[in-house]
A and B are shown apart, each in its own frame.
Chain A
Amino acid sequence: MNGAATKKLALSHLWVAFAAFIVACFMGEYQVLERSGFIPALDSAPVYFASVSTHGVLMAFVLTIFFIMGFGYTIATASLKQPVWNMPLAWGGFWLALVGVVLAAVPLLTGKASVLYTFYPPIVAHAAFYIGATLLVVGSWVWCAIMLVMFSQWKTANPGQTVPLAMFATAANAMLWLWTSAGVALEVLFQLIPLSLGWIDTVDPGLARTLFAWTLHPIVYFWLIPAYTAFYVFVPKQAGGYLFSDEMARIAFIVLAVFALPIGFHHLYMDPEQASGWKLLHGIGTFVVALPTLVTGFTVIASLEIAGRLRGGKGLFGWILTLPWTNTMVLSVILALLMLIFGGFGGIVNASYAMNAMIHNTAWVPGHFHLIFGGTTIIMYFAIAYYLWPLLIGKALFSNTMAVTQLWLWFIGMAILTTPWHVLGLLGQPRRISSVVYNNLLTLAWKPYEFMMIFGGLILLGSACLFIYNLVKTQLNPTPEAVAGEIEFAEPIHAVTALPEYLNGLKLWNKVIAVLMAVSFGYPILQFFFMKTFGSSAWGY
């Protein structure tokens, strides 16, 4: 990494991310408590939905965007061995995004933006909420531009050379995010902000949902790619081995970035405004995007096996025992993969076109994305933080034992939280309810599962507090053990000799995405302008 300036930039981003995270964790635990109805004094729909909206925005937009920006600056400078291009611009992006967060937080926390993080017009929030969210996204576009400029500058300066895998993945993610955020940007700029300011009288919720679906799937890959990057470029080295295949890693990132985009209609399977043929097309694409995850699972486990055998592991499964289970990066990847297996299974149910009817908008869905995002993705964010903190501030981690305990608690808490959540969905409980008031015997079956969720949430909250405590103590440690290391990237077991240009650049893939997006979203968006539609006026909530 190049100097104190980059470290300060990265740390600032990461602290905003984790501050948002810890606030949102407290809200999450309040929400399971409120919803269960065990404490009547807590019962309040306005507070609950203000909290749910804030929890969603903080976790899905603030934590992720700031973490990914901070991680990206670190990866770019360390892997390319060049300073951040245009440091003032990078800080400009940071402040723009932060001002956006503050602007959105005021209406959120005062109950003026209880529209959930998915917006869903014709319910309308205070305009400051949409404008704040827009500034946050525009701030992230600054980061995208810096990543892509650094990527191409390095390629120009090193013709014919292979771009380091970590930077390839980061640049692919920047490209993915520019494409991803365009859908919601169109919705917010042309529908929600004008409607909330009274410039227009009506919007078409069908068009709004179609544009939001454009963003809603690839955004999860935007969140996930840093986790996969750590799988490939940190884990094999930390485990004491080598990366099984550098080329397959690149192919996985490309397929992720390309096929994450044209498949958003699996969020609209149950919607009346899109026809079944388009839904089926997006549904097939949804299964295709499972491929890079299956490849990643193989490559990471193969890399771990190489490490386990190098450490003396014998037999079919003996290598698992010889892995360094107390290394936070290695432990995290094992737990992340376990959660990915179960979460991926649930995801296949969601993706399965007509089967989706059984679980659509039930408690199953938040159960699923808490397991995949809160589980697999966030546990890797923890691992990356534990790895980077000593390198960024030059002090040894306050307590490795505490970190290992924290990771295990997160895994256990997530299992206890999300298993009953899935079951509740199968038992018919809708998502996004603030209390259960249905006068029906069915609801009696829900009670024990809601109790389990409170317990799981408590473990997660404790784990989150331990995480923040460890980072703060590391930074404030007055008598630290000094650390003066560099980021160590994993070496592939077969050195990459010659790489075809399409595995070393993004230009071709950008064009492929443009074609696929035109095919899968072109007509479905244009249809709203061809058929007779009826807009909806704005509603409060």
Chain B
Amino acid sequence: MQTELAKAINLLRDLCAQFNAIHIDPLEKKWITISLMVIGLLVGIITLDAFFHGVNPPSKVETIDSASLHLSKEFAEENLGVQVDGKGVVTIRMVAGRYSFFPKHIDVPAETPLTFRWVSMDVLHGVHIPMTNMSTMIVPGYVAQVSTTFPKPGEYPLLCNEYCGLGHNHMWSNISVIAKEDWKAPVKSPASGEQK
């Protein structure tokens, strides 16, 4: 084991020595240093944001049977749309299917943390709300979860952004973002569905 390690270290040393021996113009060395610094800066910002501010794309790996959503507790018809639990956490459950998003229209509060949970009942879809960072792929067999906050009230379209069939461009619906003080929680019992 130790000899293996020693061998690997020697190989690395050898590579470094060979690398130092090749001719690289001093000007080019400077350019490479600058390039590495720029790359390091961008990578550094992204990594720090990911680790310390939780700035990550939607990546909750959670599976679901897309063929039997109507039988699932969480995505049964009466559970779709906006729901607020006892602690005031707003969760929005949406189903994507050719060629619409269900429910067709929802009202959500501005300046409030929202958690969207998207599922597909058929093929691959994607959804984004222009001018916001609410964007995710909706892959059949998986729950796509996105957390975001909308700063500005207004009427926004919800657009399917992945080719899902010949009617793809007809796949859209609307969402109203309402000023926080004007928004009323829908009078529905909180979802009893499982949320792992």
Contact = CB atoms under 8 A, between A and B. Distances in A.
A415 to B, nearest CB: 25
A270 B135 CA distance: 7
Contacts of B25: 244-245
A200 interface: no
B139 interface: yes
A298 B46 contact: no
Interface stretch (A137-145, A169-177, A450-458, A497-505): A497-505
Interface string B119-142: 000111010101101111111111
Interface string A285-298: 00110110011001
Contact of A353 (B46, B169, B170): B46
A438 B159 contact: yes
Contacts of A132: none
Given A280-B50, A352-B46, A536-B123, A273 B142 contact: yes
A272 B170 contact: no
Nearest to B138: A272
A468 B165 CA distance: 35
Contacts of B169: 45, 433-437
Interface in B94-151: 122-124, 126, 128, 130-131, 133-145
Interface stretch (B60-68, B73-81, B82-90, B181-189): B60-68
Interface string A193-222: 000000000001110010000000000000
A460 B7 CA distance: 56
Contact of A295 (B18, B32, B122): B32
A123 B164 contact: yes
Contacts, number: 220
Interface stretch (A323-331, A389-397, A525-533): A525-533
A356 interface: yes
A10 to B, nearest CB: 33
Contact of A123 (B23, B36, B143, B165): B165
B163 to A, nearest CB: 4
Nearest to B124: A120
Given A354-B56, A536-B66, A361 B128 contact: yes
B56 A276 contact: yes
Interface in A101-141: 114, 116, 120-123
Interface in A491-541: 494, 498-500, 502-503, 527, 531-537, 539-541
Given A46-B166, A276-B59, A295-B35, A428 B47 contact: no
A500 B50 contact: no
A455 to B, nearest CB: 23
B57 A247 contact: no
A451 B136 CA distance: 29
A96 to B, nearest CB: 29
Contacts of B50: 276, 280, 353-354
A423 interface: no
Contact of A270 (B66, B137, B155): B137
Contact of B123 (A122, A436, A442): A122
A356 B57 contact: yes
A273 B139 contact: yes
A534 B168 contact: no
Nearest to B131: A428
B99 to A, nearest CB: 11
Given A204-B141, A273-B142, A290-B35, 5 more contacts: A299-B28, A353-B55, A440-B155, A534-B65, A541-B165
Interface of A: 45-46, 49, 114, 116, 120-123, 204-206, 209, 244-245, 247-248, 268-276, 279-280, 283-284, 287-288, 290-291, 294-295, 298-299, 302, 348, 352-354, 356-358, 360-362, 427-428, 430-438, 440, 442, 494, 498-500, 502-503, 527, 531-537, 539-541
What 4 A-B pairs come out closest when comparing CB atoms?
A428-B130, A500-B18, A361-B161, A430-B161
